[in-house]
Amino acid sequence: MAERGTVSAVSLGLRCPHQAWRPFVPAPIAYSRRLTPPVSGNGGSVCGCSAIRQLAYPACCAPYSGSSKALPTSVSPGLTASSNLGLNLRPMSAFAEEEASKASPEEAPGHSYESLRVTAAQKHVLHVQLNRPEKRNAMNKAFWREMVVCFNKIAEDSDCRVVVISGAGKMFSSGIDLMDMASDLLQPTGDDSARISWHLHSLLTRYQETFSIIEKCPKPVIAAIHGGCIGGGVDLITACDIRYSTRDSFFQVKEVDVGLAADVGTLQRLPKVIGNQSLVNELAYTARKMMADEALESGLVSRLFPDKESMLDAAFTLAAEISSKSPVAVQSTKINLIYSRDHSVMESLNYMEKSPAQPLKMAFVPAPGYQPTYNPTLPYHNPIPGGLRVGMSIYIQGVASEHMKRFFVNFEVGQGQGADVAFHFNPRFDGWDKVVLNSKQNGSWGKEERKMSMPFRKGAAFELVFTVMTEHFKVVVNGTPFHEFKHRIPLQMVTHLHVDGDLMLQSINFIGGQPPSNQMPMPAQAYPVSTCWWVMDFPSSPGQYYQQQSRLPVKMLGCCVFFPQPVPFNGRLQGGLIARRTIIIKGYIPPTAKSFVINFKVGSSGDVALHINPRMTEGAVVRNSFLNGSWGSEERKVSYNPFGPGQFFDLSVRCGADRFKVYADGQHLFDFSHRLSAFQRVDLVEIHGDVTLSYVQI
């Protein structure tokens, strides 16, 4: 039998098997939290067991000296790394701050583990906790298995865009749980050295995958480290993309102290993380502690924080910022960064050119006459393209905060602090829930108009539409006419739109409007020119819509703007579907919706060049074609799914020479290669199913 002292097995530190720690059960961890201090057994003394004494970690086992206290809900300006790094996170908006302060996050569906706790921290962000605080998050057999299962699920979860990983209790991780793992690592069964070696090789390969799976996961992973990060903890964090740490943290490549080699990732990844081979050798040969300041200086972590709570707040703020970006762009960036780390510059450039993850190159191109801004940050205070004008519609989609008190939309004259306000739209939840409407001229507010009916619901998505008419603004909320506000200030003076308050913005779109007299519409190159848009106005009676012709210059075949009506919708594509033509579909998915369908169809034959079928009950976006009486093969894979019950969506379908390119909310969703070679024959757009349409441009 091979000498156990020379067996190369998995890494990581030790915990004392005799230490009588009382289990620490943390309070439900959110982003504004109170922690119950752990109780240290034996008065907090280090175990006197002679076999363990030399490996004891005083910093881990010392009595708890902190106090329970209320903790901040956001990152204070002072909680930054050393000033020469130039790092600074934007402060959270009111909505983001409230999202980050919700207590008791729910366990993420499909994630139930013995050693991990996975919660839906906030929209598009999962929080993975090492959840054995009573064992200092020592890594037992269940951990090595469950990490692989967990991150495989996360990789396939289209709703998850970022992961934050942390440790429950007093420290990040004390490393491998030798008491649980000893039978596998140090006492393998049998007497045949070859079979034992083969068994250990197989075991080691599986343990390496436990951390490699983090690196393989296309979603960015942020490690939030506090207290000790020992042995396997170092293996884990070096596989993460970003590392934050508290000032009391320390890091140890501990394996040589127990006769092992760090063979599940540290020796391979740490040199590339910190870029200092001499320092890596020193740490690996001596098992000394690297304190937090040294970790920051060497590049192992990018920021330090005074305590765990402020660190987690910053980590979730960063996660929210990343999740607001295009998931395809972010995930493609991660894939290419990791490839470039291990290959030459030319190999990496060639990989990017050939990589299937290159929707990065397919930038969103808005349709002519359509000017969207997606995921704008608050406060939003920007010029109105071309100025406010009759016939223009402003679509604002967003989500009201669950703790919303008020927000406002102002149409302003200029951008200064004392600017006049042509129209002030101000929902207020103040016990007398109402919407206040007003204007401000020469620094003084005018006479308020109040609507005591509240069309917004806390925590719910909404669509707010302002249509500029000759005499007044028309306001529609979630498809229902809400109010008409007569003009008090000439429209031509209005230059800016200002939005702020307790909400999160999904998109702002400026659509249509008669141009200033000195701007003549330019002839379109790719489309025949239409002389009008058709605007479906408010119903003159229930269920009845009338059409109003508006002289709006457009560079497309036509545009239908209408307030919600029942589907099916059938729109004719005059001149057929030609390359570079974009179709816009905005709508709302009811909470009870099961599925809906968008078909690009040849009217004469019934062939369907592109069939888009979001299925809410399956969480899938199915694409297909129907040619010569038969369905083709389905395509289902998407990097994220924008079609959720109770949500609004903004879909752009652009026809290219060889494929359709489809975007949702400005982010690439999927490509669909042409199966109907004569795609120009497509002359119908059909929409039916469980959906309400608010805007269609064809």
Bridging pattern class, strands 162-167 and 125-130: parallel
Q: What span, in angstroms and rounded, lies between the C-alpha atoms of 184 and 603? A: 67
| Residue 50 covered by a domain | yes
Same domain, 523 and 655: no
Q: Do 300 and 345 belong to one domain? A: no
- Asked if 648 and 506 sit in the same domain, the reply is no
pLDDT given for residue 178 in this prediction: 82
Q: What are phi and psi of 338, to 5 degrees?
A: -65, -40
User: Same structural domain for residues 407 and 350?
Assistant: no
355 part of a folded domain: yes
Among 512, 533, 554, identify where a domain stops. 533
Q: Do 521 and 608 share a domain, yes or no?
A: no
CB 374 within 8 A of CB 397: no
Q: Which is nearest to 184 in space by CA: 149, 132, 141? A: 141
**Could you tell me if 624 and 601 are in contact, meaning their C-beta atoms sit under 8 angstroms apart?**
no
pTM of the model: 0.48
Question: What percent of the chain is modeled with pLDDT above 70?
Answer: 71
CB under 8 Å to 214, separation ≥6 — which residues?
Answer: 147, 151, 165, 221, 236, 239, 240
Query: Residue 53 has which token pair?
Result: 């004494």
Residue 547 lies in a domain: no
| Tally of residues, the chain | 698
Domain residues for the domain of 438 are 370-533
Together in a domain, 339 and 289: no
Please indicate, yes or no, whether residues 399 and 514 belong to a single structural domain of this protein: yes
Q: What is the C-alpha separation between 517 and 520, in angstroms, rounded?
A: 7
Q: How far is CA 174 from CA 4, 19, 25, 549, in A?
A: 22, 13, 17, 71
- Give the pLDDT of residue 553: 32
pLDDT, tens digit (0-9, with 9 covering 90-100), for 554-608: 333 344 444 455 688 888 888 889 888 889 998 889 899 999 999 999 999 999 9
Structure tokens at 131: 């959840």
In a domain, 287, yes or no: yes
- Catalytically active residues are 176, 232, 235, 255, 263
Is the backbone peptide bond immediately before 91 cis, with ω within 30 degrees of 0?
no
Q: How confident is the model at residue 17 (pLDDT cuts 50, 70, 90)?
A: very low
Q: How confident is the model at residue 365 (pLDDT cuts 50, 70, 90)?
A: low
| Same domain (yes/no): 341, 422 | no
Based on the fold, state whether residues 336 and 316 are members of the same structural domain. Answer: no
**What sign has the CA pseudo-torsion 618, 621, 625, 626?**
positive
Q: Domain for residue 501, yes or no?
A: yes
Tell me the average pLDDT across 92-109: 54
Q: Which of 361, 381, 413 is the last residue of a domain?
A: 361
Query: What is the distance between the alpha carbons of residues 315 and 301, in angstroms, rounded to a whole number?
Result: 12
The verdict on residue 551 lying in a domain is no
Lowest mean pLDDT among 126-140, 332-346, 364-378: 364-378
Q: What pLDDT does residue 508 have?
A: 92
The set of residues, in sequence order, having a beta carbon less than 8 Å from that of 47 and lying 6+ positions away, is 16, 18, 19, 53, 56, 61
Q: Which of 65, 45, 64, 46 is nearest to 55 (CA)?
A: 46
* Within a domain: 541: no
pLDDT of residue 142: 92
Identify whether residues 212 and 256 lie together within a single domain: yes
By three-state DSSP, how is residue 478 classified?
Answer: coil
Mean pLDDT of the chain: 77
Q: Is the pLDDT of residue 281 over 90?
A: yes
Determine the residue type at 42: N
79 falls within a domain: yes
**What CATH number does residue 317 fall under?**
3.90.226.10
- Based on the fold, state whether residues 518 and 597 are members of the same structural domain: no
pLDDT of 362 over the 80 cut: no
CATH number for the domain including 632? 2.60.120.200
Asked whether residue 398 falls in the same domain as residue 522, the answer is yes
Count of Cβ atoms closer than 10 Å to residue 71 Cβ? 16
Nearest-10 Cα torsion for 676, 677, 678, 680: 80
Provide the domain count of the chain.
4
Write the CA distances from 352 to 49, 173, 332, 358, 365, integer angstroms: 56, 36, 9, 7, 22
